[in-house]
Structure 1
């Protein structure tokens, strides 16, 4: 169910960006990666180990307040020519390695 809800959120954020862009309302899709939360608590130690071993470019798991800082920055209105963007809060996990 979780992955289906994430897919739905991704599509609705694109639709809202299309509809609201002309009104000057920005829409973003923030996608947290390995964040230390209640939901991830059963597996976070294993993923913290993997992060230290190179799973993420930043060698640790993220904190909820870091995701909050990203959302606060996006909501600040200081990015006036952006909308419809996906922002990954994943410590660089999705960056291709060469």
Structure 2
């Protein structure tokens, strides 16, 4: 291992699913800065977002459709790292209803599972790795979001199961659990006053940034983490201590 170049992703192809905004976009931007060929997905077309996707290959992907995910995977003939930043929530007690609960599980858990299985053959061929983004709600559940909490807790166990299954085939898979990072997903929990309350719970005395999460993800798909699989890395400034 050349320690000086260990985070050089030149010549590597990385797919970051759910990278149109927020944490996913921050992760994808970090890979681009490190020289990777970066593919990203969003639920809409690229022009529907405010972010600059220059230097990234944008794909629209419907995570509710198994056929769409399967067809999307067939577009690739090589992949070195898969990062699943997918996840959504419902508010107004909708996650307590069967329809809302199933909607969240279908995207956050079932969608992640299919992405992992569809891209596994390419990662086996390249000796690559996967990272799933779960959440600190897998540790300390959100009372207003039972489906989101369940989906992210399930994602941790799913990742461990896949790590056991695929480790002997040379594919590593881990999870990263972000703490409070202000994004569109957390709009109703962020803002100056809300952040002051969050900071009271965080030993490092600040909310997170997308690059804080990106650092952990990039580490896990690098040679520095070559002996790490099936693990959950919590990146929350100490909030869950």
TM-score scaled to structure 2, two decimals?
0.37
Match in the other structure for 2:160:
14
Distance 2:224 2:170 in 1: 12
Q: Does 1:31 align with 2:177?
A: yes
Q: How many residues get paired?
A: 94
Match in the other structure for 1:89:
235
Q: Does 1:5 align with 2:151?
A: yes
Q: Which has the larger radius of gyration?
A: 2
Task: Kindly state the Cα deviation for residue 85 of structure 1 after the two structures are TM-superposed.
Answer: 0.8
Q: Which has the higher strand share?
A: 2
Root-mean-square deviation (CA, aligned residues, Å) is: 1.5
Higher relative CO (Cα under 8 Å, sequence separation at least 6) belongs to 1
Distance 2:153 2:198 in 1: 25
**Distance of aligned partners of 1:93 and 1:19 in 2 relative to their CA distance in 1, 3 Å threshold:** same
Task: Kindly state the Cα deviation for residue 6 of structure 1 after the two structures are TM-superposed.
Answer: 0.7
8 Å contact kept, 1:30–1:89: yes
Listed one character per residue, the Cα deviations across residues 18-59 of structure 1 (whole Å, up to 9, x for unaligned) are: 011122322111111101111112111344212433x11111
Distance 1:47 1:72 in 2: 29
Distance 1:47 1:84 in 2: 34
Match in the other structure for 2:199:
52
Task: Kindly state the Cα deviation for residue 71 of structure 1 after the two structures are TM-superposed.
Answer: 0.6
Match in the other structure for 2:218:
72
Task: Kindly state the Cα deviation for residue 11 of structure 1 after the two structures are TM-superposed.
Answer: 1.5
Distance 1:47 1:21 in 2: 42
Unmatched 5+ residue regions in structure 1? none
Distance 2:204 2:161 in 1: 32
Q: Which structure 1 residue ranges, 4+ long, deviate > 2 Å from structure 2?
A: 50-53
8 Å contact kept, 1:34–1:47: no
Unmatched 5+ residue regions in structure 2? 1-146
